[in-house]
Amino acid sequence: MTEQRLHPRGKPLRTDVNPVRLLMCKIDGKDISAREDETILSVARQNGINIPTLCHLDGLSERGACRLCIVEVKGAPRLLPSCVTLVRQDMEVTTNSERVTAYRRKILELLFTERNHVCSVCVSNGQCELQALSVELGMSHVHFDYIYPRHSIDATHSRFSVDHNRCVLCARCIRVCDEVEGAHVMDVMGRGITAKVITDLSQPWGDSETCTGCGKCVHVCPTGALSEKGKSVAEMTKRRQFLPYLQLMRKEGQK
Amino acid sequence: MTLTFEDLQQIAKIEKDKQEGIKYQINVCVAAGCLSCQSGVVKESLEREVNRRGLENWTRVKGVGCLGLCAVGPLLYLEPDGVYYQGVQVSDVSEILDSLGGSPVSRLDCSSHLPFFKRQQKIVLENCGKVDPESIEDYIAEGGYQALYTALRAMTPNEVIDDVATSGLRGRGGAGFPTGLKWTAVSKAFNKTKFVICNADEGDPGAFMDRSVLESDPHRVIEGMAIAGAAVGATNGFIYVRAEYPLAVRRLRHAIAQAERLGVLGKNVFNTTFDFEIKVRLGAGAFVCGEETALIASIEGRRGTPRPRPPFPAEFGLWGFPTLINNVETFANIPPIIRNGGDWFAEIGTEKSKGTKVFALAGRVNNTGLIEVPMGTPLRDIVFDIGGGIPENRRFKAVQTGGPSGGCIPEQFLDMPVDYESLAKVGSIMGSGGLIIMDETSCMVDVAKFFMEFCMSESCGKCVPCRVGTTQIYNLLSSITNGTGKSADIPNLEELCDLVKNTSLCGLGQTSPNPVMSTLRYFRDEYEAHIHDKTCPAGACNCGGSKEAK
Ligand SMILES: Cc1cc2nc3c(=O)[nH]c(=O)nc-3n(C[C@H](O)[C@H](O)[C@H](O)COP(=O)(O)O)c2cc1C
Ligand code: SF4
Ligand code: SF4
Ligand code: FES
């Protein structure tokens, strides 16, 4: 017996015409088959096509904010973020045109001008996603002016510290704390260039009554903004295996 | 309690009867602009004086909505003489009453501003300056809530949507999306629960169109929303107003309460199965909360930041339910469209931009205030006939439309018709309807810097290009205006504008470079003068370098 297909809102969909669930699309000229609920990013990666990302992390909700994963889709008036765009039948995607790679490099440059990213003195030197991205995208120098406002460092927590000068506001820490740990210790305060990640109601992390001390935020942070105490330059390695594992276990548990 | 059509006509009749025998009616503007220059006191004093003189049987003093020429308030309009008075003070009251029936008080006469009133065509503002915004009966006497009755009792939801589609009405919130198309989408969305949201966040600097409509004729917006609810199948509405508009909020709440009392809102409206309820939600004044997905997040009680679309609110909106979101002025156009038919509306305006548009005239122009003109009216007519030209006979330089998302239009395009397409062609947008006129003393680099500073501080900070890009552009503009600019700054500006425009997440970032790009396009020489000659051609910036340099 075939299972009846439901619209996400519960209403049965007709399957007598156009029963698209698996579809064919083209990414960088390559014919690819995909499921209708997959994003361009995940389909591309399954097929060995790499698209640079920063705010995306497997296992967390998508945010679509860093804009590094933009791609060209034939017929679309704008560039689309591949991490939040679903594939469609007959879609033609270009992930590495000169236009998008140039934009990606400039976005990365903007990130480097925004706060202090001097790698040589960073705990994450050599283990940092921002650093890796600049190598990957061939961003060798920055031709915009540096902004570098002076940000604080919060080392009040007994095991972790946060250096806002290294934060790229990807919100991975916020999402992992909210969605996986369930504590929602962190959030963003302020707007625009003054936006900042805070713990509780902008209290010192060490005073937080909601923080469970699980350390997930530290391990999902792409840069040296969040680190374990006692780590010196280049010593902070991040371990993220727990994320897909936890997600898988939860899915199994729901069955 | 349910209301019938007869009840509606009865209310209208009682209201009209009250006016029987009234020989003179003095309409006093009680919208925010005039109230702030004491029109409330003038009104009270007029009332007291009328009573004292025993004229109350044939002279009526009435508080009405915005008369438009806000710059010279408090404004009065005398019926049936058709005389406008400006700058009325309490000391003028007895003179005004003396003159009734005789010749008007020439000292207060506004007749030099006559083209301002005559060249307009009012649909959205048809009741402004006419009905008492605090009286539902007065609104009904002008034919109010008949359109809702027609939509519910004489038309099917699809017919209502068809009428809106035929009218060619496009969203007045900025982007100009066809309203009929949006309504169809929401009506087709799966789900029994749907919402209607009225976007009254109006955050553009200098814009006060929506505010005036809400303060002057709140019932029109409520009626438009109820019709929308009936058409798309929603039973709950929200009006998202910024808390900086206390008068609009108070009048809206008052109007909703009146409508509920009469039964035009609530259960079984007009004896049909249609239930509709409206709630007011206050915004804390962040510009980005006018963006529809941020607005929805804000109503849900979350941080007001945009999210990527699709899914559009029509499919996944408030609390995940299909949601229709339209601007105040869009809703205000609905009752007349249903009353007179979509074809009637489609006759007005240009081929692709139908109807009228309300603009807030501001800047270096003689008649600042609120105007409504048919789409396609040439810019020149707006600036020089309705606006009365530039003060002190200075030279016109440019007009800025669309606020921080729009561009500056130079003199050579003055004869251009104002409609969505023409504005887009010259690098600006219709936006919500702010029109800022600039003369030879305005520096275009400084104007661009002003709007970029606005975008920079209103950026929500979520996506990188907008958060960092607008700051970078602002810093470049700052150094150009203070005389420390370098020749590499112009290509850098162009590069950054292109980046922010094409890669930002939401409309705020995507449109924020428009003021810079349009001034670079038409006034590049001014940028170059600042950079190479260290002078500001308009004499507005201090390019000495040392003083303002950081
Ligand atoms: C940054 C930003 C601010 C906005 N502000 C407003 C606003 O104040 N009022 C409004 O009606 N629409 C505003 N909009 C447009 C809304 O997102 C939305 O398109 C509109 O409310 C739809 O209504 P309409 O179709 O009737 O125009 C804004 C959009 C952006 C990107
Ligand atoms: S602290 Fe790290 S994970 Fe959190 S927003 Fe900043 S860069 Fe991202
Ligand atoms: S474009 Fe600006 S306002 Fe819009 S999401 Fe990005 S940072 Fe926020
Ligand atoms: S990874 Fe897609 S926007 Fe950041």
Q: Is the pLDDT of residue B288 over 60?
A: yes
Cβ A106–B190 below 8 Å, yes or no?
no
Same domain, A71 and A123: no
Number of Cβ within a 10 Å radius of residue A121:
10
**Nearby residues of A58 by Cβ (< 8 Å), 6 or more positions away:** A243, A244
In a domain, A185, yes or no: yes
Residue B21: the pLDDT is: 79
The whole-angstrom distance between B530's CA and the closest CA on chain A is 19
Candidates B503, B506, B511, B550: best to mutate against A (most CBs of A within 10 A) is B503
Tokens of residue B405, six digits? 């998302």
Place of tokens 């590049």: B524
CA of A253 to nearest chain B CA: how many angstroms apart?
A: 25
Residues of A with Cβ-Cβ distance to B475 under 8 angstroms: 145, 147
Region B437-441: mean pLDDT is 93
How far is residue A191's CA from residue A212's CA, in Å, rounded to a whole number? Answer: 27
Q: For residue A54, is it within any domain?
A: yes
State both tokens at B450: 């002003």
Same domain, B267 and B398: no
How high is the pLDDT of residue B550? Answer: 35
Name the residue among B548, B408, B407, B404 with its Cα closest to residue B485: B548
* CA B446/CA B538 separation, integer angstroms: 10
Residue A246 lies in a domain: yes
B354 contacts B203 by C-beta, under 8 angstroms: no
Q: Give a yes or no: residue A10 inside a domain.
A: no
Same domain? B453 vs B505: yes
The predicted-structure confidence for B100-129, as pLDDT tens digits, reads as follows 888 888 888 887 677 788 888 999 999 998
The C-alpha of A201 sits at a distance from chain B's nearest C-alpha, in angstroms, of 14
The last residue of a domain, from among A96, A131, A160:
A96
pLDDT for res B301? 94
- Indicate yes or no: CB of A107 within 8 angstroms of CB of B464: yes
Regarding whether B271 and B171 lie in a shared domain, the answer is yes
Residue A209 shares a structural domain with residue A241: yes
Atom 8, ligand 2: residue with shortest CA distance = A170
Ligand with smallest separation from the Cα of B403: 1
Select from B457, B464, B505 the Cβ nearest to the Cβ of A110.
Answer: B464
How high does pLDDT run on average in chain A? 91
| Strand spans (E) along B389-540 | 396-401, 408-410, 434-439
Q: What is the CATH number of the domain that holds A55?
A: 3.10.20.740
**CB spacing of B461 vs A9 below 8 angstroms:** no
Ligand nearest to the CA of A55: 4
Q: Which three-class secondary structure state does DSSP give residue B314?
A: coil
Q: Can you tell me the mean pLDDT for B483-488?
A: 94
pLDDT, position A9 = 53
- Give the closest residue (by CA) to ligand 3 atom 4: B506
Which ligand is located closest to the Cα atom of residue B307? 3
Question: B336 and B385, same structural domain?
Answer: no
Return d(Cα A237, Cα B63) in angstroms, integer: 70
- pLDDT for B124-148, tens place per residue? 999 998 899 999 999 999 999 999 9
Residues A197 and A78 in one domain: no
Q: Are B63 and B110 in contact (CB under 8 A)?
A: no
State both tokens at B12: 């209208």
Assess whether pLDDT exceeds 90 at residue A15.
no
Asked if residue B121 is part of any domain, the answer here is: no
Does the structure show a pLDDT above 70 at B549?
no
Residue B503 CA, ligand 2 centroid: distance in Å: 21
Dig out the tokens for B17 from the structure: 């009867």
- Residue A109 inside a domain? The answer is no
Q: Give the closest residue to A106 by CA, choosing from A73, A138, A147, A79.
A: A138
| Element (DSSP H or E) covering residue B197 | strand B195-200
Number of domains in chain B: 4
Out of A7, A84, A191, name the one closest to residue B190 (CB): A7
A82 and A138 co-located in one domain? no
CA dist A95 → A68, A71, A131, B83 (Å): 11, 5, 21, 66
B456 found inside a domain: yes
| Same domain (yes/no): B334, B290 | yes
Return the top range by mean pLDDT from A89-93, A235-239, B23-27. A89-93
Query: Domain range holding B376?
Result: 356-439
What is the number of the ligand 4 atom nearest to the C-alpha of A55?
A: 4
- ipTM score for this prediction: 0.93
pLDDT interval class at B546 (50, 70, 90): very low
What is the bridge-based pairing of β-strands A226-228 and A160-163?
antiparallel
B461 touches chain A (CB under 8 A): yes
Contact between chains at A192 and B469 (C-beta distance less than 8 A): no
User: Looking at B19-90, which runs of residues are DSSP E strands?
Assistant: 24-29, 59-64, 76-79, 83-85
Chain A contact present for B303, CB below 8 A: yes
Q: In 3-state terms, what secondary structure has residue A212?
A: coil
Residue contact B467–A195, C-beta within 8 A: yes
| Cα dihedral: B284, B290, B296, B300 (round 10) | 0
Structural domain of A32: 22-96
Task: Show residues of chain A in contact with B469, CB under 8 Å.
Answer: 110
CA distance B162 to B270: 22
User: How far apart are the CA of A29 and the centre of ligand 4, in A?
Assistant: 22
Report if residue B157 sits inside a domain.
Answer: yes
pLDDT averaged over every residue in chain B: 92
Q: What is the pLDDT of residue A233?
A: 86
Interior angle at CA A46, CA A43 and CA A49, nearest 5: 85
One domain for residues A143 and A195 = yes
- Taking residue A255's Cβ as centre, other Cβ atoms within 10 Å add up to 4
β pairing state of A80-81 and A160-163: unpaired
Dist. CA A37–CA A235, nearest whole Å: 39
Closest-lying ligand to the alpha carbon of A166? 2
**Adjacent-strand bridge partners of A23:** A34
**C-alpha A216: how far from chain center:** 15
- Asked if pLDDT for residue A254 goes beyond 80, the answer is no
How many angstroms separate the alpha carbon of residue B506 from the centre of ligand 3?
Answer: 5
Confirm whether B528 is domain-assigned: yes
> What does the alpha-carbon distance between residue B200 and residue B238 come to, in Å, rounded to a whole number?
10
Q: Per-residue b/e over B485-502, b at no fewer than 16 CB within 10 Å?
A: beeebbebbebbbebbbb
Q: Domain containing B52 — which CATH number? A: 3.40.30.10
Q: Kindly tell me if the per-residue pLDDT of B286 is higher than 90.
A: yes
Q: How far apart are the first and last CA of chain B?
A: 67
Give yes or no for a contact between B147 and B5, defined as CB atoms under 8 angstroms apart. no
For range B168-190, the mean pLDDT: 94
Number of domains in chain A: 2
Comparing CA positions, the residue from B542, B510, B536, B509 lying closest to residue B523 is B536
Q: Which chain A residue's Cα is nearest to B189?
A: A9
- Nearest one of A143, A113, A145 to A130, comparing CA atoms: A113
Is pLDDT at A56 greater than 60 in this prediction?
A: yes
pLDDT tens for B67-106 read: 888 888 899 998 888 888 999 999 999 889 888 888 888 8
**B186 burial via Cβ count (<10 Å: 0-12, 13-18, 19+):** buried
* DSSP secondary structure of B179-193: HHHHHHHHHHSS-S-
pLDDT of residue A8: 54
Closest CA to B419 of B386, B374, B361: B374
Q: A121 and A83 in one domain?
A: no
pLDDT for position B548: 42
Provide the pLDDT for residue B545: 46
Strand order in the sheet with A160-163: A153-154, A160-163, A226-228
Round to whole Å and give the CA distance between B179 and B181. 5
CA B276 to chain centre: 25
Looking at the complex, does the CB of residue B508 fall below 8 Å from at least one CB of chain A?
Answer: no
pLDDT band at B499 (very low <50, low <70, confident <90, very high): very high
Q: Are A108 and A117 in contact (CB under 8 A)?
A: no
Alpha-carbon span A194 to A191, nearest angstrom = 6
Strands (E), B258-395: 277-283, 323-327, 356-363, 369-374
> Chain A: which residues have CB within 8 Å of chain B?
7, 9-11, 63-68, 70, 78-79, 81, 84, 103, 106-107, 110-111, 113-114, 143-145, 147, 168-169, 187-188, 190-195
**pLDDT score at A165:** 96
Please tell me the distance from the alpha carbon of residue B386 to that of residue B409, in angstroms, as a whole number: 18
Indicate if B158 and B267 belong to the same structural domain.
Answer: yes
Helices (H) and strands (E) in chain B, counts: 23, 13
DSSP string, A54-123: SS--TTS-----S-TTEEEETT-SS-EETTS-B--TT-EEESS-HHHHHHHHHHHHHHHHHS---GGG-T
**Cβ-count burial of A101 within 10 angstroms (0-12 exposed, 13-18 middle, 19+ buried)?**
middle
Q: Which helix (H) or strand (E) holds B293?
A: helix B292-299
- The ligand 3 atom at the shortest distance from the C-alpha of residue B306 is 5
Task: Check whether the bond before B80 is cis (ω within 30° of 0).
Answer: yes
Ligand 4 atom closest to the Cα of residue A52 is: 1
For the Cβ of B327 lying below 6 angstroms from any atom of ligand 1, the answer is yes
Written as six digits, the tokens of B418 are 């104002």
Window from B96-100, B290-294, B474-478 with minimum mean pLDDT: B96-100
Ligand 1 neighbour B325 (Cβ under 6 A): yes
For residue B119, being part of any structural domain is answered with no
The rounded distance, in Å, linking the Cα atoms of A151 and A194 is 10
Pocket test of ligand 1: the residue of B327, B329, B354, B467 to mutate, having most ligand atoms within 8 Å of its CB, is B327
Same domain, A244 and A125: yes
* Residue A104 falls inside a structural domain: no
Sign, CA dihedral B437-B441-B445-B449, equals negative
